[in-house]
Amino acid sequence: MTEARRGHLAMLCFAMLVSGSFSLGAMAAPHIDPAALNAVRFVLAGAVLWAVALATGKVSRAVFAAPWRYVVLAALFAIYFVTMFEGLKTAEPVSMAAVFTLNPALTAVFGYLVVRQITTPRMALAIMVGGVGALWVIFDADLSALLRFEVGRGEAIYFWGCVTHALYAPMLRRLSRGEPGLAFNAVILTAGSVMLCLWAGPELLSMDWAALPVIVWWTILYVALAATAVTFLILRYATLRLPAAKVMAYTYIVPSCVILWELALGRGVPTAMILPGVALTAFSLLLLLKDEDKPVVLSKT
């Protein structure tokens, strides 16, 4: 199996793991404050990344230079995840996943503004097709709702989180100074843990943790380990083997993967009317996967 094929398989796993956050998050969101859940999630995920970084010798003194960088990046990261779980209180997971597919378009805008990255014509077409598919799902295939711009409360909250998520990628590129990736992200999660523990302090202290439903604990473990720590390792693995555009492409199959999660969890399927929108987002993946880049040379570092 070629390195590129391994990268694609890794990104398929990435999409499935990320998708699980939406379905499990929707089940846990009514039972716990979003900031409190993510505070615990950041602490656990940070501990895992620190353990891996220390075990592999990927921690250097350079990681701790200019600590203000981590405050900026952690704030963007924390806002994204808190708005995600707040939005899942009222929005359907598939609809939320459709909002997530707007990230490439937002990232393209911020990428140009922050680091002057230029989007190729094929990427622009894929982003446009994926955006149309996302809007189809978000507005539940209702043209009149689209014309009135009737967005659900959960989707609207999450959209602003996606704005911070889109800004995170170019800011990460701008603020990174070549530090080892594992330790760099471990420090970001540590900074985020401090912020969220301060933000959700009253909730963390007053909450009856023993009385929480089991689904909350499963969700915390899942989003901390699978959807944060493991997906970071997968993303790092794939970016060494695939062009950035192809890595980004897998964003577009998240709604389809969420549908599979919903079926597996016995939560039903969305109405047939929104399936064309999901199909458009999947088609965007094919557009972005079509070869237009030079082969990626696997780094030896």
Residue 296 lies in a domain: no
Residue 299 lies in a domain: no
CA quadruple 147, 150, 155, 161: dihedral, nearest 10 = 70
The pTM assigned to this predicted structure is 0.82
Q: Please, are residues 10 and 234 in contact by the beta-carbon 8 Å criterion?
A: yes
Kindly tell me the burial class for residue 168, based on how many C-beta atoms sit within 10 Å of its own C-beta (0-12, 13-18, 19 or more): buried
Residue 42 lies in a domain: yes
What is the DSSP annotation of 211-231? Answer: GS-HHHHHHHHIIIIIIIIIH
pLDDT of residue 119: 64
Tokens representing 67? 């600590």
Residue 297 lies in a domain: no
- The per-residue pLDDT for range 58-98, each reduced to its tens digit, is 888 888 888 999 999 999 989 999 999 999 999 888 888 88
Residue 298 lies in a domain: no
Domain hosting 28: range is 3-289
Residue 186 lies in a domain: yes
The number of folded domains in the chain is 1
Task: Give the chain's residues under pLDDT 70.
Answer: 1, 115, 117-119, 138, 140, 145-150, 239-240, 243-245, 288-301
Residue 246 lies in a domain: yes
